[in-house]
Amino acid sequence: MSGASGFSLFKRRNRSIIPGFGLTLGITLTHLTLIVLIPLAALMIRPWDIGLSGFWHQVTEPRVLAALRLSFGAAFVAAAINAVFGLAVAWMLVRYDFWGKRVVDAIVDLPFALPTAVAGIALTALYAPNGWVGQFLDPLGIKVAYTPLGVVVALTFIGLPFVVRTVQPVLEELDTELEEAAACLGATRLETFIRVIFPVIFPALLTGFALALARAVGEYGSVIFIAGNMPMVSEIAPLLIVIKLEQFNYAGAASVGIAMLILSFIMLLVINLLQRWSRRWAGV
């Protein structure tokens, strides 16, 4: 850590007369280092037991690759579903008046507040072949619980609030004058939406998509109940970490963990670039 000289260096640049800077920054950095940084460093150095080739060997096991593919693939599909329906929910909450709107608005945040294990067993009960929803899907030959489709359902649930909550404030602040102008100039409603509204809300939509995606990739609690956890088929990457830990394969568990972090980082970087590009394109 930076130590006493570090603090005085900070202090010299800080011309505020408000006291407590050293103390509060000290508490912040200490807590951050002890709770977050040192443990994460432990994750980063662990695979060195087995070397780079050992790390590569661990993460290219077919079972690990299948799990990573499922985690990232299902998370992507779930985030896409959330982008479409989340936009509809946000639009409905901002533009339409209906009875019980405030309650509907509040209940959108339920996936943030409901423990993931509870969501997991509830969704499994619903989508099991004899469940409320499953009994209608089963005769159609659609199996949701204990298949990769179940993983998508669980990941859709936990990512649901992100798109709504990022698009909603942008829609609220959107100036209707622009839409009026477009309509006056003869644009149809659909044209107005595509040419005027969508470019403005697209960056927010992308942010919501990225947040839902990032959350879904690492999700564990809600998925393991509904997934059935068959190796190579419906086994997610976080579960594989748990399994490797139970086998005392610490280096293997850490390798999968690092692979997940690296992939998430690359994914978010791409989305970030896409967002910057779309902002410039929309001129906002």
- Asked if 28 interacts with other proteins (CB under 8 A), we say yes
CB of 212 closer than 8 Å to CB of 159: yes
Site for other proteins in 131-150 (CB under 8 A): 131-133
φ/ψ (deg, to 5) at 248: 60, 25
CB of 126 closer than 8 Å to CB of 132: yes
Choose the binding region for other proteins from 54-62, 123-131, 139-147, 272-280 (rule: CB under 8 A): 123-131
Q: How far apart are CA 99 and CA 120, in angstroms?
A: 30
Choose the binding region for other proteins from 42-50, 134-142, 200-208, 273-281 (rule: CB under 8 A): 42-50
- Asked if 220 interacts with other proteins (CB under 8 A), we say yes
Q: Which of 14, 60, 135, 247 binds other proteins (CB under 8 A)?
A: 14
- Asked if 226 interacts with other proteins (CB under 8 A), we say no
User: Which residue, 18 or 52, is less far from other proteins as judged by CB?
Assistant: 18
Site for other proteins in 179-198 (CB under 8 A): 179-180, 183-184, 189
Q: How far apart are CA 192 and CA 30, in angstroms?
A: 52
- Asked if 54 interacts with other proteins (CB under 8 A), we say no
Q: Which of 48, 56, 112, 136 binds other proteins (CB under 8 A)?
A: 112
- Asked if 156 interacts with other proteins (CB under 8 A), we say yes
Residue with tokens 């692979």: 259
Site for other proteins in 233-272 (CB under 8 A): 238-239, 241-242, 245, 248, 250, 253-254, 257, 260-261, 264, 268
> Cβ contacts of residue 164 below 8 Å, gap of 6+?
86, 89, 90, 93, 108, 208
User: Which residue, 65 or 267, is less far from other proteins as judged by CB?
Assistant: 267
Choose the binding region for other proteins from 7-15, 57-65, 198-206, 270-278 (rule: CB under 8 A): 7-15
* Total binding residues toward other proteins, as defined by CB under 8 A: 99
User: Which residue, 178 or 281, is less far from other proteins as judged by CB?
Assistant: 178
> What minimum distance in Å lies between the beta carbon of 193 and other proteins?
8
Q: Which of 57, 61, 80, 85 binds other proteins (CB under 8 A)?
A: 85
Produce one character per residue of 43-82: b if its CB has 16 or more CB atoms within 10 Å, e if not.
Answer: eeebbeebeeeebeebbeeeebebbbebbbebbbbbbebb
Choose the binding region for other proteins from 55-63, 83-91, 141-149, 199-207 (rule: CB under 8 A): 83-91
